[in-house]
Amino acid sequence: MVDEKRIDVGGAVLEIIAKVSPDADLRDVKPDVRLREQIELDSMDFLDIVMELRKKYKIEVPKEDYIQLATLDSCRAYLGPKFTALGYKAF
Protein backbone atom coordinates (compact mmCIF):
# COMPACT_ATOMS: atom_id res chain seq x y z
CA MET A 1 0.00 0.00 0.00
CA VAL A 2 1.33 3.41 -0.98
CA ASP A 3 1.05 6.13 1.64
CA GLU A 4 0.24 9.17 -0.46
CA LYS A 5 -0.48 12.60 0.95
CA ARG A 6 -3.06 14.35 -1.21
CA ILE A 7 -3.96 18.01 -1.01
CA ASP A 8 -6.52 20.20 -2.72
CA VAL A 9 -4.44 23.36 -3.08
CA GLY A 10 -7.45 25.64 -3.56
CA GLY A 11 -9.19 24.05 -0.58
CA ALA A 12 -6.08 24.51 1.56
CA VAL A 13 -5.91 28.20 0.63
CA LEU A 14 -9.62 28.68 1.39
CA GLU A 15 -9.16 26.90 4.71
CA ILE A 16 -6.39 29.33 5.62
CA ILE A 17 -8.50 32.31 4.53
CA ALA A 18 -11.35 31.04 6.72
CA LYS A 19 -8.96 30.93 9.67
CA VAL A 20 -7.53 34.40 8.98
CA SER A 21 -10.88 36.00 8.15
CA PRO A 22 -13.60 33.94 9.87
CA ASP A 23 -16.43 36.22 8.71
CA ALA A 24 -15.52 35.85 5.02
CA ASP A 25 -18.18 34.23 2.83
CA LEU A 26 -16.21 31.68 0.81
CA ARG A 27 -19.13 29.83 -0.78
CA ASP A 28 -19.01 31.57 -4.17
CA VAL A 29 -15.32 32.32 -4.62
CA LYS A 30 -14.51 32.30 -8.31
CA PRO A 31 -11.16 30.67 -9.12
CA ASP A 32 -10.15 33.19 -11.80
CA VAL A 33 -11.06 36.45 -10.00
CA ARG A 34 -8.64 38.19 -7.62
CA LEU A 35 -9.32 37.06 -4.06
CA ARG A 36 -9.12 40.60 -2.72
CA GLU A 37 -11.92 41.62 -5.09
CA GLN A 38 -14.17 38.86 -3.73
CA ILE A 39 -13.27 38.76 -0.05
CA GLU A 40 -12.50 41.58 2.34
CA LEU A 41 -8.80 40.98 2.90
CA ASP A 42 -6.46 43.75 3.91
CA SER A 43 -2.70 43.62 3.61
CA MET A 44 -2.31 42.24 7.14
CA ASP A 45 -4.77 39.43 6.35
CA PHE A 46 -2.73 38.61 3.25
CA LEU A 47 0.48 38.47 5.29
CA ASP A 48 -1.29 36.20 7.77
CA ILE A 49 -2.17 33.86 4.87
CA VAL A 50 1.47 33.78 3.78
CA MET A 51 2.61 33.14 7.36
CA GLU A 52 0.05 30.36 7.80
CA LEU A 53 1.32 28.65 4.63
CA ARG A 54 4.78 28.70 6.17
CA LYS A 55 3.60 27.56 9.59
CA LYS A 56 1.20 24.82 8.53
CA TYR A 57 2.88 23.51 5.39
CA LYS A 58 6.49 24.80 5.58
CA ILE A 59 5.99 26.68 2.30
CA GLU A 60 7.91 29.91 1.92
CA VAL A 61 6.47 32.60 -0.36
CA PRO A 62 8.98 35.38 -1.00
CA LYS A 63 7.62 38.91 -1.12
CA GLU A 64 8.30 39.20 -4.85
CA ASP A 65 6.00 36.19 -5.44
CA TYR A 66 2.98 37.49 -3.50
CA ILE A 67 1.29 38.40 -6.80
CA GLN A 68 1.24 34.67 -7.59
CA LEU A 69 -1.40 34.27 -4.85
CA ALA A 70 -3.88 36.70 -6.41
CA THR A 71 -6.53 34.16 -7.49
CA LEU A 72 -7.33 30.57 -6.54
CA ASP A 73 -6.15 29.48 -9.99
CA SER A 74 -2.83 31.29 -9.57
CA CYS A 75 -2.50 29.84 -6.05
CA ARG A 76 -2.90 26.35 -7.50
CA ALA A 77 -0.34 27.05 -10.24
CA TYR A 78 2.21 28.56 -7.85
CA LEU A 79 1.71 26.40 -4.76
CA GLY A 80 1.06 23.08 -6.52
CA PRO A 81 4.75 22.44 -7.34
CA LYS A 82 5.74 23.53 -3.83
CA PHE A 83 3.35 20.99 -2.29
CA THR A 84 4.61 18.35 -4.73
CA ALA A 85 8.19 19.05 -3.65
CA LEU A 86 7.07 18.35 -0.08
CA GLY A 87 5.70 14.95 -1.07
CA TYR A 88 2.04 15.83 -1.60
CA LYS A 89 -0.02 14.85 -4.60
CA ALA A 90 -1.44 18.31 -5.29
CA PHE A 91 -4.66 18.89 -7.20
Mean pLDDT score across all residues of the chain: 93
Global confidence as pTM: 0.89
pLDDT digits (tens, 9 = 90+) for 20-56: 999 999 999 999 999 999 998 899 999 999 999 999 9
First to last CA, the chain: 21
Going by pLDDT thresholds of 50, 70 and 90, the confidence category of residue 3 is low
